[in-house]
Amino acid sequence: MPVLIRSKIELKNFPSKRAWRAAMVKGHDAQGQHWHQHMLKEHFRRNSRQRYGYKPRSEKYERRKRFGNTGKQGFRGRAKYMGMVDLVCEGDLEESIRGWATIRAFPSRVTVAMNGPSYLRINYKPNRPNLAREITAVIPEEEKLLADVMDDVVTREMNRTGETRTITI
């Protein structure tokens, strides 16, 4: 689910189109890097359900996760983090998502592509939480921080010479 983040940038000299696009690409790249390195890990903490508004898990699932299940549809042994983190059962999702990312920056957006287990893409039951949407959730505080990262990079790139001017993107 795309997140729209508004920014205000102070510029000294209105740049050429090529310089503006290059600065925007660097800014979006910095946003993607910051999100993947610093914000993604917050989704795998104990308080993430309240912080990001995840859908509550069923009592049956919570019980299976805490005490383990050796059935053919369950996992073996106990869950990572003692079953207290919504997005983590055995840890496969966390390891694969946090392991690597391909960050592609464009003048108008950034795309962070991560490799996840197959069950991340399948949403075959109506009551099942949408894991992909939960992982990519961004709260207003994080939106502001990402906008600040973008502002800093673009402002630093563009402020080389000239007079100050403010634009809203």
User: Which range has the worst mean pLDDT, 73-77, 90-94, 124-128, 156-160?
Assistant: 73-77
13 vs 53: which has the higher pLDDT? 53
- The DSSP bridge partners found for residue 113 are 102
Residues 138 and 95: their CA atoms lie apart, in Å, by 20
119 vs 81: which has the higher pLDDT? 119
- Its pTM surpasses 0.95: no
Q: How confident is the model at residue 157 (pLDDT cuts 50, 70, 90)?
A: confident
Query: Which residue shows structure tokens 């991340």?
Result: 120
Kindly tell me if the per-residue pLDDT of 38 is higher than 90.
yes
* Range list of β-strands (E), 24-169: 101-105, 110-114, 165-168
74 vs 108: which has the higher pLDDT? 108
Helix (H) or strand (E) holding 11: strand 8-11
Residues 29 and 31: their CA atoms lie apart, in Å, by 5
The tens digit of pLDDT for each residue in 61-78 reads 777 777 666 555 555 556
Kindly tell me if the per-residue pLDDT of 161 is higher than 50.
no
